[in-house]
Every structure is written in structure tokens, then in C-alpha cells.
Amino acid sequence: MTATTSMRAWAWPRTLGSRLFVILLAGLVVAYALSFAVLFSERYMSAREVMLGTLETDVSTAIAILDRLPADERPQWLPRLNRGNYQYILGPGLPGVPEMTQRGKDIAARISEASGGRFPVTVESIPGDGKQLQAHLTLSDGSTLTIDVHPRMTPIAQWLPYVLVVQLLLLIVCCWFAVRLSIRPLVALADAADALNPNAQTPPLDENGPTELARAAHAFNAMRQRIARFVEERVQILAAISHDLQTPITRMKLRAELAEDSEEKRKLLNDLAEIETLVREGLAYARSAHGDGEKPSRIDVGSFVESLVYDYQDTGKPVTLEQHAAGAIVTRPHALRRVLTNLTDNAIKFGGAAEMDVRRDGDAVVIEVRDRGPGIPEDKLEAVLQPFVRLENSRSRETGGTGLGLAIAQQLAEAAGGGLTLRNREGGGLVAQVRLGQVG
């Protein structure tokens, strides 16, 4: 039972488009086959009636002629009386078995009607292919007459199979087009949902088309606007709180400086410094949501990263450029510099040194910042990109981090027209990868 169920699950297409295509095509093919079967059956019955009617008329005439002719003249008339699907034989014919089917009864009845009931008729089936029948009767002078019958359908036109194939292909094309037309808006909606980013200016979903699809697209666009407003309000609240906290923190620091030197004073100043750092980073995170309002411009990304590495090297920091690929790209330079600075500072802080790499990947450019630090647990690689998330290891509170550095880097990377991903490095360490848009 389990094997049968799994086989059925495997055989059934997984995508909605494939399932709709199979269902529509199967329904149309079955309907087409039924129509063809009805047409073929009606054709068969019509041809059968025509054959029996023709047989009755011809046999009536032929029996009347042969019954009145002298026995020695009858062989001369046989070629004139024979037809394509039945011939006349003077004699008992071939040995056979009684034909008990409805077809044999119909042929016997028609021949009896043709003879006016004056000549008893028996019908036998000749062994072989099962399609040859012989009707036996005795003429007025006692001579035996055999009618050799080969029932056959009216031949089918040679062009008919080609027409059937063309019709089947037309059904397949129409099904494919109908399914593609139905699925395309769903695919566009799924792509828009995947690309949903309240902080990025992306074009709205097209609201043209059938009423239902236009309504769904309008609802999605309205939902995206509500999410963007919600996020913007929260960011503004965070920015306002962070900004307003700077003044009382400054006053508290001034008052602490006026106090007498003591261990409590030192601890208070350290706490205030930590709060100030947290507020400053919170304000930076709020501003990074929109890239500080910076306008995009075209830069040479290779030279840009190279100058950043030289700045670190001039200050004695262990930063190296492993691979350098030139290429013009449209981005926000200040936001990109802040991203790379955050990632490089983290690499130096937790790994002792930073290695940078710039390469082209198709129509995109990839910038990697690598270190040989402790890395990040696999199940926390995505979580650390969220604000105020810190790990319980060397990348923790004791290092003075606020949990906003990577979150700010991710926000600014998106504002710069790219994205930030993290992965652990083989042999130990972390790789922070920034992937930017199309290279000019």
C-alpha cells in the first residue's frame, strides 16, 4: 500500500501548471475519443445497413436470374453478378461451421427476404480469419448455390489519420497556452512576494488583466505599501528615541566627570559609554534603512575596493586584496563603503586579519570579506543579520558589540542594490559576501 501511494505521489506532477495541463488535456482527449467512438460507431452502423441493403437488392436480382437460366449457362453469368464483398459459387462451397452470431442471422434474413422465402438459407463461417461467411441455398432445379460474403467496412480516407494528429496537436497547444495564461499571474505574484522589501523602491505589481487578477495585484500592492509605512514608522520611532537620548546621556557624562574619582565613577562612565554606543548604532541602523537618502551613481567597483584596502593598509591594518576584477556598476558608494567597512572591521576584530575578493559572476559583481576567526554556528547565520542579535561566544557582549553591525551592513547592502549573505569558511573562519546588481 505504501509503495503504491508513493508511486502515485511521484507520478503526479508537483507544479500547479503541470497538474492543470494534465487535467485539461486528459479531459479533452477523453471527450475527443468519445466523440470519435460515437462517430465511428454511427459510421459502422450506417455502412452495415447500406451493405445489407445492397446485398438484399443485388442477391434478389442475381437469384432470380440464376434460377431462370439453364444450368449450363449459369457459369457465364457469374462474373457479371459478382461484387467486391460477395461472389456467387455454383456448388456447395467450402466446409464451415454454423454462424450463430447476429451478423450471420442478419445476412441469412436478408438473403431469405431477397429470395422471397422460396429458398431456405443457411449461413456458415469459414475457418480462418473469421471474416468470411458463406450462405447456402438450393435453386428450383435442385442445384446448390453458394454466396461467398466478405463483410467489410467502407475504407477510411488516407488523410483522416493526419487530421486526427493535427487536431490532437491543436488540443495540446491550446491546453498549454491556457495553462500558461492562467499561471503567469501567480508566478508574477510569487516573484513579487519574494522580492518584497519595504526599504527598496521596486515597481508595483501590474494591475492589468482579468478582474480577479487585477484585484489580487491591487491587494498585494496595498499590502506592500502598508508594510512599508509600518516599517518606516518604526524606524522613525527608533531614530527619534536614539537622537533624543543623546542629550541626557551627554548631561549624565558631564555630571559623572565632575564627581570624585572612584571605582563607581569608572563603572558609571563605562555604562554611559556603552549606552552612547548603543544609541549611536541604533541611529545609524535607522538611517541605514534608506541608505541615508544617498543617490545612486556609477563607480568602478574594482578601484573602489582597492582604494578601501589601501586605506586600511596605510593605517597598519592587516587587510589584503586577493582578487581584483574591474567593472562599472551603479550603486550608492557611501552605503557600500559603510558595508565593507563594517565587514572588514568585524573580520579584523574576530579573525585578526581580513582578506577581500572582487570578482564578476555573470551580470553581477561579488565582493567577499573573509577571516580566520571562530566563525558562526550554521543555525545562526541568518539570525545574526537581525538587529540586536549577539552570539554567546567571541562575537558577544564582552567584546563591546551592540548586535547592530551586521544588521546595518545588511540594510545598507540592500540600499546599495544588492544583498549580504554569510557562510562559514572551510578550515575555519567566516565569509561575508556582498552581491551587487548588473555590471556595466
Distances (CA, A) of 211 to 16, 179, 218, 221, 235: 21, 18, 10, 15, 36
Q: What is the pLDDT of residue 395?
A: 45
H helices of 69-159, where?
74-81, 102-114
Q: What is the pLDDT of residue 166?
A: 87
Helix (H) or strand (E) holding 65: helix 16-68
Distance CA 267, CA 273 (A): 10
349 pLDDT higher than 80: yes
| Mean pLDDT of the residues in the chain | 77
Mean pLDDT, to the nearest integer, of 125-131? Answer: 67
Distances (CA, A) of 268 to 148, 185, 263, 274, 287: 122, 60, 9, 10, 29
Distance CA 326, CA 5 (A): 55
Q: How many CA atoms lie within 13 A of 119 on its CB side?
A: 29
Chain position carrying cell 566627570: 257
Q: What is the pLDDT of residue 406?
A: 80
55 pLDDT higher than 80: no
Mean pLDDT, to the nearest integer, of 121-143? Answer: 75
Q: What is the pLDDT of residue 253?
A: 78
Distance CA 340, CA 365 (A): 14
251 pLDDT higher than 50: yes
State percent of the chain over pLDDT 90.
3
Pairing of strands 319-323, 354-361: parallel
Mean pLDDT, to the nearest integer, of 330-356? Answer: 87
Going by C-alpha positions, the residue among 11, 375, 29, 55 that lies closest to residue 170 is 29
Task: Name the phi and psi angles at 383, rounded to 5.
Answer: -65, -35
Chain position carrying cell 545588511: 410
Distances (CA, A) of 13 to 178, 191, 196, 256, 380: 17, 21, 28, 71, 35
Q: What is the pLDDT of residue 354?
A: 92
Sign of CA dihedral 89, 90, 93, 99: positive
Sign of CA dihedral 269, 271, 277, 282: negative
124 pLDDT higher than 80: no
Task: Name the phi and psi angles at 82, rounded to 5.
Answer: -70, 150
Beta bridge partners of 366: 359, 435
Q: Which three cell numbers stand for residue 213?
A: 487578477
Find out whether 404 and 390 touch, Cβ atoms under 8 Å: no
Segment of 380-384, 410-414, 432-436 carrying the highest mean pLDDT: 432-436
All domains of the chain in start order, with CATH: 1-194 (no CATH), 200-289 (1.10.287.130), 294-438 (3.30.565.10)
Chain position carrying cell 556603552: 274
103-120 exposure pattern, b = at least 16 Cβ within 10 A, e = fewer: bbebbbebbbebbeeebe
The amino acid at residue 99 is: E
Distance CA 162, CA 165 (A): 5
In this prediction, residue 154 has a pLDDT band, given cuts at 50, 70 and 90, of low
327 pLDDT higher than 80: no
Instruction: Report which of residues 96 and 77 the model is more confident about.
Output: 77
Tally helices (H) and strands (E) across the chain.
10, 12
Q: How many angstroms separate the first and last alpha carbons of the chain? A: 58
Distance CA 121, CA 98 (A): 12
Going by C-alpha positions, the residue among 26, 54, 48, 58 that lies closest to residue 103 is 48
Mean pLDDT, to the nearest integer, of 333-352? Answer: 87
Please tell me whether the overall predicted TM-score, pTM, comes out greater than 0.75 for this model.
no
Among 207-216, 234-243, 287-296, which is the least confidently predicted range? Answer: 287-296
Beta bridge partners of 330: 298
Find out whether 15 and 190 touch, Cβ atoms under 8 Å: no
Q: For the beta carbon of residue 26, count every other beta carbon within 10 angstroms.
A: 11
Find out whether 115 and 63 touch, Cβ atoms under 8 Å: yes
Q: Quick one: how far is CA 419 from the chain centroid?
A: 25
Distance CA 46, CA 153 (A): 10
Distance CA 158, CA 10 (A): 40
398 pLDDT higher than 50: no
312 pLDDT higher than 80: yes
Segment of 52-66, 287-301, 326-340 carrying the highest mean pLDDT: 326-340
Segment of 51-65, 107-121, 266-280 carrying the highest mean pLDDT: 266-280
pLDDT digits (tens, 9 = 90+) for 354-393: 999 888 887 788 889 999 888 888 888 888 887 767 665 4
Among 30-44, 108-122, 242-256, which is the least confidently predicted range? Answer: 108-122
Q: How many CA atoms lie within 13 A of 261 on its CB side?
A: 0
pLDDT digits (tens, 9 = 90+) for 201-234: 677 888 787 787 788 888 888 888 888 788 777 7
Mean pLDDT, to the nearest integer, of 38-66? Answer: 71
Instruction: Report which of residues 280 and 250 the model is more confident about.
Output: 250
Chain position carrying cell 477510411: 156
